[in-house]
Structure 1
């Protein structure tokens, strides 16, 4: 019998998540198939086994202790689900020659199946490889324009043969014209890997603006709002804030960090910012309620409004909206999915309890 059952979601829910390959359960549980002796992540793309042949474990160590081998497809021992070697080699080639326009024939010559690459990028970046390449080139053009390059030179340096084509692509990607972009704030984004699945981080010069799980349903709307209402030009890239959150997030999941210090920039209404500020004050390993936050803000009847602001928090984990629970102790909603919320709270509770034990 699995001794970790009390830490797992309901059995029927795990079966559903396994059959539907629900990535919201990444890191929450693992599936182990008795007939093959192999264990997988819940989002594994291999053919789903019969539920009666499966048992569930809370962590990979338990699977190994029970005699199961790691799946070669989903690689459950790679908790962060890092990019496979063939993707890493391709990204290295893109960095070496960023202006190269990769064709399917060139990809195949490198031993890369275009359809497989398309699927991987859609899953981990939310766009195809070719769309990512276009956005990347346009991001470089944006950087050039911000540094004073002419629109003509930015267009041709990006590989566009006509100014009209460049302008159309630029406006479609950044929701602004190249001329106006010279005065806009670049918002750089990168993909981060975590034990609970891939995340996207976005930062500008003042700090981290967004940190969300890639499969969050509201993610597209959040990014569009940042572009349309706050004037950001979004492009792939990296800066010191993104580097810092990558390091701190890894330390958090390793149980070595309880408070984030990465600078934040959180555009929003005054009330939303007040709620987010209170969220940031919730201590590691503790929880509160919407009503308690409303009372602190001097608006005891505003629990629903606090819940709305909580749902609009763009900085998952760093601004810990997962520490807000229902008045009856229920987990309530969470943009990254309730399974992830439960897992984050378990992580923090385990660390807190260990610290207390060591203190005695």
Structure 2
């Protein structure tokens, strides 16, 4: 689990001292460089506020971080397993390849053996690793002002059509439709629980979702329509603010989100969202309880629909709503992620850091 690790101050001290006792047991994700390292890395040490510590390499990769070229955090697993070493070398040699199970089989490997080996060492499959590597590189090139063709090449796609299709599956539109600046700007935020897409105006956050959410392309299409197509890629002040607040949340420093929010919904939906923001971190309530608090005890299904319409994950904490029987029920980011978020927030509660959330915008 995420908090089976020692506290962040202990791990940061281990990083500074290059304590070999933690080698392979914990990894540091550095927000300012986008890389992850072993705690024995010889590189210059980042500031503590830019560090997030996790237990597995898979968590680093799923959060969008790349392996450090100084400490090579993938090497121990490769040295321990020739199958992993061969496939990692193949990925490095052909990052542009659209890897498939057929490719793995043609290299003479048993698919189930490879799947178990990568899941055991990294917490993710080889194909997952290859996919994350490709799309993140392309998105960051666009966010940095690069052209679509530069993003395609950086992402390792030989075919422009293949890059457009992969990008469209993620964001619901072709990269050329949102490349450059716009009234709203999309940006990529890595977290210990996976990559997120943020869309902001200069002053307000309009969307924050995990990239796996099935409704993400539809949500982005609605935002593009409301912005009359004026959606671009790049950083904004609001996105940088929520990035910092997410970093503080996952580092265990703060559970308060104060980034101003642009809320679009009916009066009832907005009332549900406001009520969600009053649930303290570490606490959970049922849909029926929310309906009761709003003075409409029969509106349980309407509350559930408003909960599902939330497109500001974590900031409007719909993950804190559970079934009347205590079950986790649905969550657009995945039930495993909902469970992890609730576990993270228990730390704030135990440490006396669980104030009511502050309403934004």
Tell me which interval the TM-score lies in, with the shorter structure as reference length. Answer: 0.5 to 0.7
Kindly tell me: are residues 49 and 355 of structure 1, through their superposed partners in 2, closer, same or farther at Cα, counting changes over 3 Å?
farther
Report the TM-score when normalising by structure 1: 0.58
- 1:102 pairs with 138, 149, 161, which one? 149
2:328: which partner in 1?
Answer: 331
* 1:321 Cα offset (Å): 0.2
The whole-number CA distance in structure 1 between the counterparts of 2:334 and 2:136 is 31
Partner residue of 2:141? 91
What secondary structure does 1:261 align onto? Answer: coil
Residue 183 (structure 2) pairs with residue 136 (structure 1): no
Tell me what 1:306 maps to: 303
CA contact (8 A) 2:283 2:320 kept: yes
CA distance in 1, matches of 2:291, 2:233: 37
Write the distance in 1 (CA, Å) between the matches of 2:331 and 2:179: 31
TM-score by length of 2: 0.58
Q: Secondary structure at the match of 1:343?
A: helix
Aligned-partner SS, 2:230: strand
Aligned counterparts of 1:312 and 1:288: Cα–Cα separation in 2 = 18
Q: CA deviation at 1:235?
A: 1.9
Which of 222-231 and 277-286 deviates more?
A: 222-231
Q: Secondary structure, in 3 states, of the residue corresponding to 1:346?
A: helix
Query: Secondary structure at the residue paired with 1:314?
Result: coil
SS at match of 2:149: coil
The match for 1:250 is 247
Question: CA separation of 1:92/1:52 partners in 2, compared to 1, >3 Å: closer, same or farther?
Answer: closer
CA drift of 1:187 comes to 1.8
Q: Which runs of 5+ in 2 are unaligned?
A: 5-58, 64-76, 88-98, 105-109, 354-361
Q: Indicate which of 101, 112, 123 corresponds to 1:50.
A: 112
Instruction: Tell whether the 8 Å contact from 1:125 to 1:214 is kept in structure 2 after alignment.
Output: no
Rounded to whole Å, the distance in 2 between the matches of 1:221 and 1:199 is: 15
Q: 1:102 to 1:348 in 2, by over 3 A?
A: same
- 8 Å CA contact 2:188–2:198 kept in 1: the answer is yes
Kindly report which structure 2 residues correspond to 1:170-181, keeping only aligned pairs within 5 A, or say none.
none
- 1:216-295 → structure 2 map (5 Å cutoff): 216-228=213-225, 233-295=230-292
- Helix, strand or coil for the counterpart of 1:126? helix
Pair 1:281–1:254, CA change in 2 (3 A)? same
Following superposition, the deviation at residue 341 of structure 1 comes to 0.6
Q: Structure 1 residues 188, 331: CA separation in 2 closer, same or farther (over 3 Å shift)?
A: same
Listed as ranges, the gaps of 5+ residues in structure 1 are 5-22, 58-62, 144-185
SS at match of 2:248: helix
Aligned length: 261
Distance 1:207 1:54, change over 3 A: same
Q: Greater CA radius of gyration, 1 or 2?
A: 1
Q: Which moved more, 1:242-251 or 1:317-326?
A: 242-251
